[in-house]
Amino acid sequence: MRAKTPNSGTFLVFSAAICWGLSGGIAGLLIEEGWGPFLISFYRAAIGLIAFSSWLILAPAKSGLHKKKLWLWSLLAGLGVAGNFSFYFLSISESGVSIAATLMYCAPIFVYLLSFLLKLEKPTLLKFIGIGFVVVGVTLLTEVYKADGSNMNVLGILFGLLAGASLALFIFSFKYATRHGSPQSILSISFLVVLITLFVPSQPSSIIAALVSEQLPLLILLGVLGGGTSFILYLFGLRKTAPAIASVVALAEPISASLFGVVVLGEQLAIAQLTGIVIILVTVTLLSVASSRR
């Protein structure tokens, strides 16, 4: 009997990562057109909610919607998504797509730290060395070592790291929520939480204005790629792909986002910053692969 190949699952994970990367670039275009990060996040979540609720209606089995723990973990996951979307786009508005996407990719580091604090994972020398390398990479990427602070945007750095921390909260909460129900029910609740959380910051008048704006197609495209399609592709891909392989393939997100920022948005990065990006991506990927193989 021929062994199963991971090709189809790998392709799905890769496609999801590309969708996420492109969504960051599209957000950069929308920000240049004057649309706020909260509004962009709101539309991304709204279209995602349509996709996940449709999925839930088509596949309602084992939803777990009657379980309180599902709602609790999904609520926390929703707060994580709201923070991730908002802080990521805020970071893009301050520092650009390349830096924001790379800083957000530090999310696994925050997962490690949270697991250490909750005593869910044992700290090891290798993990602390890896975290140290990520700190070095962030230092080079953000140029905090420059005495005059030139080219360093503190808010952009802070928002990027908060996007990563928020993503860690989502990953952590989603993992525990899946013990009580289906992914589609968890994501439906989570993205509903995002809409409720971001409704006021997005400003209702701006939400309505966007519906008749020239940028509406871009907002829809952002939502389709970054809010609905990417999550579904990723979840189905994980079913056929080893976590270690998925961790490596996920590199496509920050790389594609950075390329979009440089090629389309005209962002410029110094050699030291490019070195920082490589250090962060390689270290986080190696740590993720090592963790998934336990």
Residue 266 lies in a domain: yes
Angle at 86 between CA 25 and CA 22, to 5 degrees: 20
228: which DSSP letter?
A: I
Say if residues 182 and 63 touch (Cβ distance below 8 Å).
yes
SS3 164: helix
pLDDT average per 10 residues of sequence, the chain (294 residues)? 58 92 94 96 97 96 94 97 96 91 85 77 81 86 63 82 92 92 96 97 96 95 94 89 75 87 86 88 80 61
For 262-291, write each residue's pLDDT tens digit: 888 888 888 988 898 898 888 888 877 776
Dihedrals φ, ψ of 35, to 5°? -85, 140
Per-residue burial over 147-178, b = 16 or more CB atoms within 10 Å of its CB, e = otherwise: eeeeeebeebbbbbbbbbbbbbbbbbbbebbb
Residue 168 within a domain: yes
Is residue 243 in a domain? yes
**First vs last C-alpha separation in the chain:** 28
120-129: per-residue pLDDT in tens? 777 788 888 8
Per-residue model confidence (pLDDT) at position 283? 86
Give the span between the Cα atoms of 73 and 189, in whole angstroms: 10
Domain that holds residue 212: 7-292
Give pTM, 2 decimals.
Answer: 0.88
Residue ranges in 123-177 assigned as alpha helix (H): 125-142, 154-177
- Considering the domain boundaries, does residue 2 fall inside one? no
pLDDT (tens digit, 9 = 90+) per residue, 80-100?
999 999 999 999 999 899 889
Neighbouring CB atoms inside 10 A of 265's CB total 16
237 within a domain of the structure (yes/no):
yes
Q: Examine residue 38 and state whether it is found in any structural domain, yes or no.
A: yes
Residue 1 lies in a domain: no
205 belongs to a structural domain: yes
Instruction: Provide the number of structural domains found in the chain.
Output: 1
